Amino acid sequence: MLLGDLLARFNDPLIAEQALASLDDLTLVTDVTVKADAAGLSTGAYAAECVETYADTTSDEEWTTLMGQMGRTDDPGSVLLRRALAAACSGGGTCGCGGHHR
Q: For residue range 85-98, what is the model confidence (pLDDT) as tens digits?
A: 999 888 644 454 44
Phi first, then psi: what are they for 23, rounded to 5°? -70, -20
In angstroms, the CA 12 to CA 20 distance is 13
Per-residue pLDDT, 91:
66
* Radius of gyration from C-alpha coordinates of the chain: 13
Whether 101 maps to a domain, the answer reads: no
Q: Which 8-state DSSP code applies to residue 1?
A: -
Mean pLDDT of the chain: 84
Q: What is the pLDDT of residues 53-97, one digit of tens each?
A: 998 899 999 999 999 999 999 988 889 999 999 998 886 444 544
Whether 95 maps to a domain, the answer reads: no
Whether 97 maps to a domain, the answer reads: no
Whether 102 maps to a domain, the answer reads: no
**Average of per-residue pLDDT across 10-28:** 89
Of residues 51, 49, 43, 52, the one with CA closest to residue 20? 43
Domain that holds residue 18: 3-90
How many residues in total does the chain contain?
Answer: 102
| Number of domains observed in the structure of the chain | 1
CB 13 within 8 A of CB 43: yes
